[in-house]
Amino acid sequence: MSDDFEIRTPRLRLRSWRDDDFEAYAALNADPRVMEFYPSLVSRDESRDRFDRWCARTAERGYGYWPVDVIGGPSFIGLVGLADPDFDAHFLPAVEIGWRLAAEHWGHGYATEAARGALAFGFDGLGLREIVAFTTTGNVRSRRVMDKLGMRRSPDEDFLHPLIPPGHPLRPHVLYRLRREDFVPTP
């Protein structure tokens, strides 16, 4: 992927990673509000490893979780994009869409808007036929984004996340799917 990759939506830009995104990325991973539905906060060292992996993988694959800027506003409000989960589950392999925004930017419709841009890229640019999303059952904000995108959940596809220990309250997950023909690119 070139350094000038970008997906534009009415208010947002999803773009290539830059070295100077690291501090904001590490801060996001260390914020308990943002990480409420993840098993743990991410240390600065672990964020450094993940950051290096994300940058390399996004450049190599041509897609990944991209940094999101508000056009004419703040840079790096979070990350939204496409990934290839590599754990063992009934619905994999599949391309997943996901999102993580800094808490001060929640509630403006940014996650949904950025996700529409990423979905359009996945379906039109990459030619994907289906994109999935999943989250822990109690993450109502994230599930609402999935609903607003027109993604559909089948309760019989709920699963226990294999990378979260048995008995952990975040282990039960819901799966949502969106087929290319059901995607509506505008609200």
Ligand X SMILES: CC(C)(COP(=O)(O)OP(=O)(O)OC[C@H]1O[C@@H](n2cnc3c(N)ncnc32)[C@H](O)[C@@H]1OP(=O)(O)O)[C@@H](O)C(=O)NCCC(=O)NCCS
CB atoms within 10 A of CB 179: 14
Burial category of 167 from C-beta neighbours within 10 Å (exposed 0-12, middle 13-18, buried 19 and up): exposed
10 touches ligand X by CB under 6 A:
no
Sketch the per residue contact string, 29 through 58, with ligand X: x for CB under 6 A, - otherwise: -----x--x---------------------
Q: State which of positions 91-110 bind ligand X (CB under 6 A).
A: 98-101, 106-110
Distance of closest approach, residue 107 Cβ to ligand X, in angstroms: 5
DSSP conformational letter for 140: H
- CB nearer ligand X, residue 98 or residue 121: 98
Count residues near ligand X (CB under 6 A).
Answer: 21
* Three state DSSP letters for 11-63: CEEEECCCHHHHHHHHHHHCCCCCCCCCCCCCCHHHHHHHHHHHHHHHHHHCC
Contacts of 42 (CB under 8 A, 6+ apart): 26, 29, 30, 35, 50
Which residue, 59 or 120, has its beta carbon nearer to ligand X?
120
Q: Which of residues 133-152 bind ligand X (CB under 6 A)?
A: 135, 139-142, 144-145
Q: How far is the CB of 2 from ligand X (least distance, A)?
A: 27
Binding site for ligand X (CB under 6 A): 34, 37, 78, 98-101, 106-112, 135, 139-142, 144-145
